Amino acid sequence: MTGTGFSGATAVRFGAVPAASFTVTSDTRLTATSPPGSGVVQVTVTTPSGTSNEYVTFGYGLTPAPTLNSLTPNSGPTAGGTAVTLTGSGLASASSVRFGAVPAASFTVVSDTHITAVAPPGAGTVQVTVTTQGGSSNGLSYTYVAAATLTGVGPNRGPTRGGNTVTLTGTNFTSATTVTFGSTPATSFTVVSPTNITAVVPPGAAGAVAVAVTTPGGTATLQTAYFYVNAPVLAGLAPAAGPLAGGNTVTLTGTHLVEATAVRFANTAAGSFTVISDTQITAVAPAGTAGPADVTVTTAGGTSNALTYTYLAPPVLTLLSPNQGPTTGGNTVTLTGTHLAPATQVRFGATPTAFTVVSDTHIVADAPPGAAGPVDVTVITPGGTSAPGSYMRLSPPTA
């Protein structure tokens, strides 16, 4: 209220009713809290010098109290700073917006039906109200959410194609709205508890990325938390065949092999394997059945293409023809049996000799020279060594 001669005021009345309270600010200014009332009343100020004129009026009920219908978002971090949109009616003359008992950090009246307000710091659930000349509005709930923390991702690596499921650990996950790997949202995620989220990893480029969880309380980020790994690629294996009993060492070559977790021959794990480098692995072949088997390498990046390894039955010798010859050698011997086609050596005793594979059941070999007497003949293939056949070296006749 403005005027003159306010110093020493003893009463302020709204009609016949004293003000709920008043404060003299200066001789020309005072503030007063209106008492309950209705209609239009005269406002007067009384001092020891008398009572003021009655030309100033105050109207009760001329401005209806504001009404709030909604606020968006209805939650935010305890640190405040969230822009909240309030919708309702009678908001145009808003003089304050409060979150509980705390004034908004700032607010802007957009229209009679909209206000944007910046939430102050707070905790728990509070009522948001708007005050105008008509009074204070109804309250709507706004919840302060504690910020999430992210402490771990496991497993922390997987294929570039994504699709694998990982578990995120931390705190305050309950109201999580997004999970991202680098800048890419998770394919899907499930809040298991306030401390656990399971997320399906999206595709990504090889390398490390940050993982982040966003809640109304803010975003928690763990840097270099997840590693995209290229799928392994096999280019070769040697030898490409071996015995049914396994036990032989096979060298696998390719790329992206360094993180190998398994080597399989068909569905059987290698007896053991050693990662030599990102391009080479040595593996001990397990036992298998005769025929081809797919060999694969598995890493966090997935399972490689398959290369063929063949399990071979050991060779069997049933006949040598002729089964004798001169000590000087040089004669041709026909070996008959089974599983002879992949022969890598024919030996007379410990001596290898030249040979030609005719079929899986026949080999012709050049008998090497040697001392007179019996000698064991064997055929060696990747499937093993045959049981020996007997060949007799004969001394030349003497005069």
**CA–CA separation, 150 vs 172, rounded Å?**
9
Tokens for 223, please give them: 């840097």
Residue 57: predicted pLDDT: 78
Question: Residues 167, 170, 175, 180: is their CA dihedral positive or negative?
Answer: negative
- At 393, which amino acid appears? R
Count of other CB atoms within 10 angstroms of residue 366: 15
Tokens for 387, please give them: 């049981």
- At 280, which amino acid appears? Q
| Cα pseudo-dihedral 80, 85, 87, 93, rounded to 10 | 80
pTM: 0.68
Tokens for 257, please give them: 């092999």
pLDDT, one tens digit per residue, over 174-188 is: 999 999 999 999 999
**CA–CA separation, 320 vs 395, rounded Å?**
19
Judge whether 227 and 241 are in contact, CB under 8 Å.
no
pLDDT, one tens digit per residue, over 283-302 is: 999 999 999 999 999 999 99
Distances (CA, A) of 97 to 68, 105, 118, 142, 211: 11, 9, 9, 13, 37
Local structure of residue 344 (DSSP, 8 states) = -
Domains of the chain: 11-60 (no CATH), 67-145 (2.60.40.10), 149-229 (2.60.40.10), 233-312 (2.60.40.10), 316-394 (2.60.40.10)
Would the pLDDT of 364 be above 90? yes
Residue 398: predicted pLDDT: 78
Tokens for 218, please give them: 């803010």
Count of other CB atoms within 10 angstroms of residue 374: 13
pLDDT, one tens digit per residue, over 297-347 is: 999 999 999 999 999 999 999 999 999 999 999 999 999 999 999 999 999
Residue 59: predicted pLDDT: 74
Local structure of residue 347 (DSSP, 8 states) = E
pLDDT, one tens digit per residue, over 117-137 is: 999 999 999 999 999 988 899
Q: What rounded mean pLDDT belongs to the chain?
A: 95
**CA–CA separation, 228 vs 162, rounded Å?**
8
Please name every residue paired with 390 in a beta bridge, in sequence order, or none if there are none: 376
Q: Please provide the DSSP assignment of 347-378 as one string.
A: EETTEEE-EEEEETTEEEEEPPP--SEEEEEE
Q: Map residue 381 onto helix, strand or coil.
A: strand
**CA–CA separation, 102 vs 109, rounded Å?**
18
Judge whether 90 and 134 are in contact, CB under 8 Å.
yes
Residue 62: predicted pLDDT: 63
Lowest mean pLDDT among 43-47, 112-116, 164-168, 190-194: 43-47
Query: Token match 């692995």: residue?
Result: 281
